[in-house]
Amino acid sequence: MKRWFALSAIGRDRPGIVADLAELIYESDCNLEDSSMTILGSEFAVLLLLSGEGGDVERKLGAGCKRLEWEKRLTVFFRPLEGGPAVAERAGERHMECVVTGVDKAGIVARVARTLADHDVNIIALGTQSRPEPESGTPIFTMRVQMAVPASADVRALRERLEQVASELRVDLTLGDRPGG
């Protein structure tokens, strides 16, 4: 029977981390189903969805994770998923994207995320970055949120509330249908 696992790892960025993790997956008789990887500061971070069959898969993953922690100085965590990955979409949900840009300040992510949660919007992916403006060096913050908006949501009310939050934070905000979604 096919079993599913979520695996996360973080460690100082260096060449070979992806190879180390791919070998762990292969040696544990698992298949890489989905992944998200990034470098944050000087750290490499990854979240993986794995599947495997056989009674020994979980033991092999556990031993392999401990080996990577010891030999490669990675912090690795995995856990079995009950019933497999939850990929089901809610009927009629609308896939949208929100982009926020402005001078970097505390609270942008918290305020926007709370507004989305209050409207029962599910954040599918969120990416942020802060970069100095070329001429002044002022840190400019950009946040890109991909989300699933339930069919029952009032998109006009959501837009109005997000625009109010953007005005209070003095940032620019766009909300629209997600390309390809």
User: Residue 136: which CATH number?
Assistant: 3.30.70.260
CB 141 within 8 A of CB 128: yes
Token digits for 21?
Answer: 């993790």
Q: Does 18 share its domain with 69? A: yes
The residue from 53, 81, 109 where one domain ends is 81
Average pLDDT on 75-85 reads 87
Is the pLDDT at 15 greater than 60? The verdict is yes
**What's the mean per-residue pLDDT of the chain?**
93
Residue 87, domain member (yes or no): no
DSSP code for 15? T
Q: Does 140 share its domain with 67? A: no
Q: Does 172 share its domain with 98? A: yes
Give the list of residues 6+ apart from residue 16 with CB closer than 8 angstroms, or none.
Answer: none
89 pLDDT tier (thresholds 50, 70, 90): low
Q: Does 104 share its domain with 148? A: yes
Q: Does 74 share its domain with 99? A: no
CB 64 within 8 A of CB 72: no
Q: Does 40 share its domain with 7? A: yes
Residue 136, domain member (yes or no): yes
Instruction: Look at residue 92 in the predicted model and tell me its pLDDT.
Output: 77
Is the pLDDT at 88 greater than 60? The verdict is no
Residue 109, domain member (yes or no): yes
Residue 89, domain member (yes or no): no
Q: Does 77 share its domain with 99? A: no
Instruction: Look at residue 87 in the predicted model and tell me its pLDDT.
Output: 53
pTM equals 0.80
Q: Which single residue is written with the structure tokens 């802060």?
A: 130
Instruction: Look at residue 152 in the predicted model and tell me its pLDDT.
Output: 92
pLDDT tens digits along 17-72: 999 999 999 999 999 999 999 999 999 999 999 999 988 999 999 999 999 999 99
Expressed as residue numbers, the domain containing 7 is: 2-81
- Radius of gyration (C-alpha) of the chain in whole angstroms: 20
Give the list of residues 6+ apart from residue 41 with CB closer than 8 angstroms, or none.
Answer: none
Residue 61, domain member (yes or no): yes
The residue from 29, 49, 81 where one domain ends is 81
Burial classification of residue 137, based on how many CB atoms lie within 10 Å of its CB (0-12 exposed, 13-18 middle, 19 or more buried): exposed
The C-alpha atoms of residue 33 and residue 75 are separated, in whole angstroms, by: 21
Q: Is 2 helix (H, G, I), strand (E, B) or coil?
A: strand
User: How many structural domains does the chain have?
Assistant: 2
